[in-house]
Chain A
Amino acid sequence: MKTAATMIATTLLTALPLVGSAAQVKLDVSLANPVLIAGKKQTTYLKVGLTGFEMEGKSKRTPANIAIVIDRSGSMQGDKIKQAKEAARVAISRLNGNDIVSVVAYDDTVSVLVPATKASDREAILAGIDRIEAGGSTALFAGVSKGAEEVRKFLTRDRVNRVILLSDGLANVGPDTPGALGELGSSLVKEGISVTTLGLGLGFNEDLMSLLAQRSDGNHAFIEHSKDLVKIFNYEFGDVLSVVAQEVLVTINCAEAVRPVKVLGRQADIAGQNVVASINQLYSNQEKYLMLEVEIPEGSVKKPLDVANVKVTYANMSTKTTDTLTSAVAVRFTESEEQVVQKRDKVVLEAAVMQVATERNIMATQLRDEGKVEEAQKLLIFNAGYLQQQAGELESEQLDSYAGDNRDDSMNLDASSWKARRKSMRDVQYKNTTQRSY
């Protein structure tokens, strides 16, 4: 590699670009502190940012293959089911003849109301949605399985394959643990199917729903009021319809002396010097990133240190090719503390602080689950203070806003508001760790 005085990012295109350089994912590898104090072992954050390119022209978007799985259990009766049907109708109106859609509804049994069909077959699809009526238990696992089976019928790598699950209840028929649903998510993502889980109201199991989404790299959102359903459905469809890259595999190879500590927020395999993580989908003009905490050995002012090589492979939805991007990052050392502060990358730091604070927020949730209300409260207040301080230093509105969230969280730990608060906390945690767009 080239020697680099500052951070260098090189992009190599191994596949022939067919539509020019625009149709390429932007890889941005940077350190929170590109300049560190010499002669001291210290940790910093390495951020691998991936930004989706813009598809050319509206019609040239990636075709979608979507299964809408709707909970029709007894608790969905009334406004919820009405809004859910409306949301599905509105969402489907955004699809065209290239897209595939299916509609599955479940209570204690599962019905495939619309088997996978072209979205242009609107009448049959709408008739299927009209047939949804609420009543019964919640066979969530089976509902997702049947939805996935419908997606599988037209499962191709050049489509966005997704199951959108809408539920307001706990899974009570069939596998019902977050673990089991998480396993299902892990296996589905290997096939290229993501599951987006939309939790409606206060009755659903947010751990189960968020884990299913997280493991399958779909979205998870908490919708407290059914009137927001149409809006969220639209956001989700916006994401689905703007996918530009899939099966993104990020490999970070750390230099010998550098120790990868952990990846914040996302699932990743760390084995020795290698870190491997996958992101199922990248959306147009949206950044998803991987935040790796690294331990940098003692260095000298004279000699910059190569920190890591990063390799990213992904399926380019525009060119229908598998592309590879590579980049490398190095660190410099200095004697002056001032220079360290001056050279720090505020954007990377902001993201890192966000991830650290999110981890703390997750820990607070766990403490509250264990009944340790005071400890949870203390942690949240501490987190808010930390965020506040970092927001000032980094001049970040995002951190400031999250500080406010944490303060609010700390005030809503009592039994009466916890149920709803926990769902919104999971929602924000999910949004932060996966860089959800909405």
Chain B
Amino acid sequence: MKRRLVFILGLIVLLPLTVLVGFGIAVARQEKARAQSRYEQVLVGRLSDINSGIAKLVEVHQRELLQILELPTFEPDRIRAQVRTSRLARQLFVIAPTGDLLHPQKGGVLTAEERAFLERTESLWESGESFWIPEEIAATSKKRAIKGRKRVIRANDSGWHTWFWGEGLRLIFWVRRPTGHIVGAEVERAAMMSDVIAQLPVADYTRTPLPKGRIVLVDAQSRPLYQWGAFQPAKGTLPTVAQNLPAPFTAWSLHYFVPANGIGAALGRSAIFNIVTGLSALALSLIALATYFYRESSRDMHEASRRVTFVNQVSHELKTPLTNIRMYAELLEQRISEEDKRCRSYIDVLVAETQRLSRLITNVLTFATQRRGNLKLHPKTACVDSVIANVIASFDPALRAMGIEVVLEGKADRPVALDVDALEQILGNIISNVEKYATQATTLRLHREQHAGTTVVTVSDDGPGVPAAQRDTIFRPFVRLSNKLTDGVSGTGIGLTISRRLAMLHGGTLSLVPTASGATFKLTLKTPEANA
């Protein structure tokens, strides 16, 4: 009983707590994900800042290149002089409006560098595609040819072009002259790269509110070109965030690495703290509540058991005077003459009532013993029939007074191992119920059978019987049939419970046999034969 209470109370505490912890974890996880995305946004923001710096540098480069490309003439020597002094230009070229290369001219008088340039750029001239004509214009000019409609689209005045040769990406910046000439520069890639690197922060760059991290500028093959920041990411780790560089460096990107615990540090620790605190508070209050209930209920149980003990003690105390009363009443009966009928009937009542009281007390004591789990039988050699005779004799005066005739059928006269007190108590309880509730009955029939170590006693009356719905419930403790019949009749509601319990202890059963009328109880007991 107590263990069950503890279990239930534990469940009451644990169940909601588990649910809430689960919920809390989910919330914390969500919060962490949100914090991480917030954090990543900050990192992306930093990369964007760096990128906008690079974009500005590209603008500066563009302006510088535009200046370089402002050639007053296309004289080869003038162009060469320009190349010699322009750090961003490795080589310059001029394309005539017709699309032919004016400088460096194939087959012309060229320097070794110019010949090397032609070799590097061969794929550009051989492909037949003119990179200085935007694709949409090339497309529309085709369309125009088909539709015959004239559409004017302004061509770009300048632009970047990339191609691959040798060690990697190469860059061209070109300008369209009003004359239709395209003047371009092969950009000194190393110079641009060097400028980008020169602009980026140095290793011990500390002007950042973020935890230590590492930003790496990588090329198209993810090889690092430049890096800074105090954090050293393990090989093979993926960047926390990444961003591509602005044109014309789109093949390169910035990778931002931060230590894994860096994110946790940045995450609102307060959020997790709040959740944990809330859950702990809830757990504490639940435990307090459970403890309170536990103490209350164990006080109740204590109280109840004190009461039971009290009843027990009282019953015990009643037993001795009752026995005395009964003994003296029987002595008195012997002294009174046969003629004094009135006196004799008084004494009969006295005896019957003491017997009833005695049964009641026995029931209460048995019930209490059973509750404590101490109920035990004490079988000894006896004859069932003689026990039945004794019981009927004790009820005889009352039954006679009610006009109920006792009919005995069959026999059970073999000496068997039997707890006489238990059988007396069972039969007494059944017959006492007849006495109480079947007042209109005329016959009480007792049928006895005995074979192979089993004794079956069937007790039937022709009274009002038990409603079918309540056939089982009458065996439960403190259940009393409540109807017109039983109203006003006193009872404890434990008689049948005790009886069935005793029958079961005796290796048998007690059940109510369904019949057309009246009530029939069938008692089966395991009664091994004494002499066997």
Contact = CB atoms under 8 A, between A and B. Distances in A.
A274 B193 contact: no
Contact of B90 (A145, A177, A183, A276): A183
Interface stretch (B221-229, B301-309, B364-372): B221-229
A271 B76 contact: yes
A141 B202 CA distance: 14
A144 B228 contact: no
A148 to B, nearest CB: 7
Interface stretch (A80-88, A187-195, A290-298, A402-410): A187-195
Interface string A178-200: 01110110111011000000000
B189 interface: yes
Interface string B60-95: 000000000000000011001000111110100000
Contact of A148 (B76, B194, B225): B194
Given A186-B90, A269-B80, A269-B111, A142 B204 contact: no
B202 A183 contact: no
A109 interface: yes
Interface string B183-201: 0000011110111011100
A273 B486 CA distance: 141
A191 B111 contact: no
A146 interface: yes
Interface string B387-422: 000000000000000000000000000000000000
Contact of A184 (B111, B191, B224): B191
- Sorting the interface of chain B by its residue count into under 10, 10 to 19, 20 to 34 or 35 or more gives 35 or more
A109 B228 contact: yes
A146 B227 CA distance: 12
Contacts of A167: none
Interface residues of A, number: 36
B87 A190 contact: yes
Contacts of A139: 226-227
A108 interface: yes
Nearest to B228: A109
A95 to B, nearest CB: 23
A254 B383 CA distance: 154
Given A148-B198, A183-B191, A190-B86, A174 B109 contact: no
A362 B166 CA distance: 23
A112 interface: yes
A110 B199 CA distance: 12
Most buried by A among B109, B113, B203, B224: B203
B197 A142 contact: yes
Contacts of A141: 190, 193-194, 197, 225
Contacts of B204: 111
A187 B110 contact: no
Contacts of A112: 202
Contacts of A272: 109
Nearest to A269: B111
B112 interface: yes
Q: Please provide the 4 A-B residue pairs with the shortest distance between their CB atoms, ordered closest to farther.
A: A109-B203, A149-B198, A187-B191, A183-B190
29 contacts: A108-B224, A108-B227, A110-B202, A110-B226, A139-B226, A141-B194, A144-B194, A145-B193, A145-B195, A145-B198, A148-B198, A149-B198, A173-B227, A174-B224, A174-B226, A175-B193, A183-B191, A184-B190, A186-B90, A186-B188, A187-B190, A187-B194, A188-B87, A188-B191, A190-B86, A190-B87, A269-B113, A270-B111, A271-B109
Given A149-B198, A186-B190, A278-B84, 6 more contacts: A144-B194, A146-B198, A174-B197, A179-B166, A181-B190, A183-B90
